Each structure stands twice: as structure tokens, then as C-alpha cells.
Structure 1
Amino acid sequence: MFPFKMALNASTLFPFQLSVKQQLQVAAEAGYEGVELWMRDIEHYLADGGNLHDLKQYGDELGISIVNAISFFTWADADATVRKQGMVQAEKEMQLLADLGCPAIAAPPFGNVEHVTLDDMAASFAQLVEIGRRIGVEPYLEFWGRAKQLSTLSDAFSVALQSGLPDVKMLLDPYHMYTGGSAVNNLAYIKDSHIGIVHVNDYPADPDRATIQDKDRVFPGDGIAPTAEIARFLHQTGYQGYLSLELFIADFGGQTALDIATLGLTTSKQAFSISDSYGKEAR
């Protein structure tokens, strides 16, 4: 049984240098229900004369939803001026996404955050969410395993709690759980309503955890990630939202973008399927 929906993060297709519309087309043709677009690609599309209405209509025609956007703004930076600039950028981008019909944006610990306390980060995140909800776009709190602060799932829990907001949504990612040392069983403390989206990927044993990089991520099921355990925890929360395939592989050889998108959909569904108590695939 596969109780989730599948999305494709556009990073997976970066080696093919596709336009935003081509990214949507490939994802739809491969069978995904949603896509995560990168703000830089949306901005390139607009700079080349495109408009948000046409892009939204194109996605609607293809039957695929734009479910989240990836951006980097300094919402939690230690410097107040830089942090304010980050909030201005975030507000501008969220207004754009609202016009596009995209309901969410990732909020990772981008910038100089090494000496920012989790309490201060929580206050900044509350401000960011207030801006987003006024516009109609939800910031998803994302932790990065290699960040100087907000690097673990427990850090994200702390920021969410200290924000004072009862319904903070987090972005989960097995790679960042691995590199930051987050315990998989901590997922048992999450409610489905607190999960915005889940990035899916896998990682090999070599390079080791200390030296592995984004480019070393592999397709779900091809590495050592406890994927089946993660899938069970997500299912136990009642989560039925999007899993989004996020890879940064630099070269896929002679394969096409559609080949890779199709392969990613197949491997993700296989790796994150839920088995019954007898170890057989539930039907």
C-alpha cells in the first residue's frame, strides 16, 4: 500500500536545464501529482516574458499541482538588517506564489545562524509565518543537517514550540536527518498536521556521514537510509500528503528527463510502500 501522494522537486531535473513549463510537463507525464519549483526558475521564467497566470493555467491543464517552492532568504540571520532584508524578500516571493496558487514555501536556516539561539529563531519564524498567513502561503520550517543551528529534528521541534504557534508545519528530509544525526524514532512525536511535505531520497554508506554531500544522494531504496521505518512512522501519524523526490545528481548519462522522473516515481513508491504485519505488501 502506498498511502502518500508523489511530487517531484525540480532539483532532480537540474542536469537537463529545463524551463519551468518543461519541468511541469515532465512531472505530469511521468505520473506525479505535484511539483516543487525553485524560485530562481520561476523568476527566470518571468524575466523571459512569462506570466504567473499562464504558468498556473498550464499546470492546471496538465493536472499537476505546484505544492511548494524552494527559496533561500535570511529570515533567521544573526544580523538584524540582514534578517529584515530576508523578511522583505520572503514577503515578495510569497506574494508571487500566492498569485501562482502555490500554498507553501520552504524556510531553511539560510544565512549566518551559528550564534542565533533557538528561542530567537522561533521568534523570527513566528514573524515569517505571520507574514505568510496574511498572504496565504505557509512557510515550512526546514532543518539542514549541516547548518550551524536548526540542524536536527529536535531543533525544529523546539523552534516550532517556542514560536507560540499551535500548527507549525515542518519539512522533513531523510538526508538532513542523517547528516545532522536526528534519530528516526523522533518521528513518532510528530502529528500529521505538523508535516508540510517530506523530501525523499537515499544516501550511500560511502562517502560517510561526515563527508557526504547533496550530490551524493541516490534514489530511494538504493542506499542505507531506514526508508521502510520512516515510511511506517509517517503512516502512523496519519500523514497522507506529498513525498517529494529531491536529488542533486549531476549526470544521468544518456537517460532523458522523463526516464529519470519515471524511475524516481517507481523507486519512491516501492521504497515508501507500507507492508502489513506479515511482511507482505498490503493491497
Structure 2
Amino acid sequence: MFSNLSAGALGLSLDLPTAVDLAAKHGFGGVDPDLDHFRTLGGASAVAEFAASVRERGLEWGMTGLPVPLDAPAEEFRRALVDLPEALELLTAAGVTRVGTWLRPMHDDRDHCVNWRLHAGRLALVGELLADAGLRIGLEYIGPKTLWSTERFPFIHSLREARELISDSGADNVGLILDSYHWYTAGESTADLAGLTDADIVSVDINDARDDRERDEQQDLDRRLPFATGVIDVPGFMDSVRAAEYSGPVKVEPFMKELAERPVDEVLEQISGLLDRAIAGE
């Protein structure tokens, strides 16, 4: 596995060339690709050339967003499918292999069965299209009860449910985005991670939680940096990730606005150090 700079996950507004420079400077192993930036380069050949320069800096690609919104209204979903070939051409030219999205854990109108059928069917279709381009899809379940309980029909908000949906879709290029925060807020333990393999995991996020709230009081967008409070067993979580022989990106996604108020180099030096610590198992 490798430490990954995801500027957006840190609340930092960096264009991709700047993110690449900073990732190399601060010892990250990878950086998230940006489809919007690829579109400004003038075609697949230019994208491939840019990607080669990134690899020359010793960096791998992390994960970019899934270009198709699985939860969208039917017409928006259809439009995204029409635009998908252009996105796949650029991602393929760049050598990107991982895209991801989160599963909205509730809905006011769709009950669980209807929502499940919609997601399984769309995931099967999109999974097939992306498999032809050599892309894997990561799905992130959202654990906080303060979010999934806010609408009429709760939906997927646990590891077990996410794995069942992936199995039901029949898509073999779909796996998990594992986030220690959602793992904790879903009430899960290392036992729930036992048996996972590299093929099951597309990306990993590590975060900690506030120490002045109980588990069911935690807010999705109010987290802490890994190892900050010890509320979340980040070392145990990462032991399980290592046991899975996971080989992909690991990033931090704390939703802490104050990070953007500090000098960028100072923030990235701290984040790189935290990721190195987590990956090494120190």
C-alpha cells in the first residue's frame, strides 16, 4: 500500500500539477487523479504524456470519482452514461485504475428494497462498462447514525450490507472503500474485516473521531486526524488492512476546515507523517 495525497479530502484547493509537485516534495507515494484536469490537456495523447511525467516523479495514481452517479434520477443517470466513453478514454490514457463513490445511506422516497434493486442493477451495468476499461469501482458505506437516521428509509450503512450489494450486482471489478471512521461509527470491529483480500478493497481512508461524543453522536463531517484522540483503533484497523495484503492508496479525510487555514507545506508534512506511521504499523 502507499500513502496518497488527496487534496480535496483535506479541504485544500490545489490543481493537479501543484498536487503532484507537493506529493513528491513531501514523500507521498501517490496522488489522486483529476478527470477535469485531464479534459483541459487536449486529448488522450497529452493525458498519457502528463501521466508519464507523474510516474517519473515516483508517484502512483490514487482514486478519482466515479463519473456516473449511481443514486441520480433516471435522466441524469442516462446522460452520464452517454458521456462515459469520453471519461473512460481519458482515464485509460492516464493509466488510472480506481474510481469510487459513496452510498447514500438513507432516502425519503425509496424504501430499502427499491433502493437496493436500483443500486444493484446500475452497479451491474456500470461495472461491466468500466471493466472493459480496466477500472475498479470502490463503494464507501457511511456509518454515522446521525446521518442514516435522518430520512424515512435507512439504506446501506455497514460493511456487511456493502459486501452483499457488491455480491448481488455480480460485478467482479467492484470493491470497498474502507474508512476507519465509518467502520467505527457502524459499530464494527477487526473481526468484521477478517478474511478481506486485496481484491475486496479499492481504497482506504484513515481518520479518528471526537472524544467528547458517543459513537452514535458522531457527525459525518466532524472528524479528527488519525491517532489524534484514540477513539478509533486505527492501529487495529490498519493491522487488518495489512492482513488483507492490500496494495492500494491510503489517505486521510478528516473534514477539518482549519487545515486549509494553515500553511500547505506544514499540513502536508503532518499528513505524510501520519500516513507513514499508519502504513508502517508503528
Aligned pairs for 1:85-124 (under 5 A) are 85-109=79-103, 114-115=110-111, 116-124=114-122
User: Does the Cα contact within 8 Å between 1:177 and 1:184 map onto a contact in 2?
Assistant: no
Matched, 1:199 2:205: yes
Separation of aligned partners in 2, 1:47 and 1:97: 13
The residue type equivalent to 2:24 in the other structure is A
**Most deviating of 60-69 and 249-258:** 249-258
Shift in CA distance, 271/60, structure 1 to aligned 2, threshold 3 Å? closer
**Most deviating of 214-223 and 128-137:** 214-223
Matched, 1:67 2:35: no
- SS of 2:238's partner is helix
The residue type equivalent to 1:24 in the other structure is V
Separation of aligned partners in 1, 2:163 and 2:175: 10
Separation of aligned partners in 2, 1:174 and 1:196: 14
Could you state the TM-score of these two structures normalised by the residue count of structure 2? 0.80
**Most deviating of 108-117 and 79-88:** 108-117
- SS of 2:171's partner is coil
Matched, 1:262 2:258: no
* Residue matched to 2:8: 11
- SS of 1:124's partner is helix
The residue type equivalent to 1:30 in the other structure is H
- SS of 1:216's partner is coil
Aligned pairs for 1:91-240 (under 5 A) are 91-109=85-103, 114-115=110-111, 116-145=114-143, 146=147, 148-166=154-172, 168-223=174-229, 224-240=231-247
What stretches of structure 1 move > 6 A for 4+ residues in a row?
Answer: none
Could you state the TM-score of these two structures normalised by the residue count of structure 1? 0.80
User: Does the Cα contact within 8 Å between 1:75 and 1:86 map onto a contact in 2?
Assistant: no
- SS of 1:106's partner is strand
Q: Deviations over 1:70-105 (max 9, x none)?
A: 35742244x433433344455543333222221111
User: Does the Cα contact within 8 Å between 1:35 and 1:66 map onto a contact in 2?
Assistant: yes
Structure 1 gaps of 5+ residues are 275-280
Structure 2 gaps of 5+ residues are 149-153
User: Does the Cα contact within 8 Å between 1:108 and 1:143 map onto a contact in 2?
Assistant: yes
- SS of 2:227's partner is coil
User: Does the Cα contact within 8 Å between 2:51 and 2:94 map onto a contact in 1?
Assistant: yes
Separation of aligned partners in 2, 1:229 and 1:192: 17
Separation of aligned partners in 1, 2:41 and 2:194: 46
Shift in CA distance, 202/89, structure 1 to aligned 2, threshold 3 Å? farther
CA positional deviation for 1:242 = 2.5
Shift in CA distance, 248/58, structure 1 to aligned 2, threshold 3 Å? farther
Q: Percent identity?
A: 22
Shift in CA distance, 45/81, structure 1 to aligned 2, threshold 3 Å? closer
Q: Aligned pairs, how many?
A: 267
Q: Deviations over 1:114-148 (max 9, x none)?
A: 53443442222111110101122222122223454
Separation of aligned partners in 2, 1:157 and 1:195: 11
Separation of aligned partners in 2, 1:90 and 1:175: 31
The residue type equivalent to 1:65 in the other structure is E
Q: What is the aligned counterpart of 1:58 among 39, 53, 70?
A: 53
- SS of 2:62's partner is strand
CA positional deviation for 1:33 = 1.0
User: Does the Cα contact within 8 Å between 2:207 and 2:252 map onto a contact in 1?
Assistant: yes
Separation of aligned partners in 1, 2:247 and 2:38: 31
Give the RMSD, CA atoms, in angstroms: 3.0
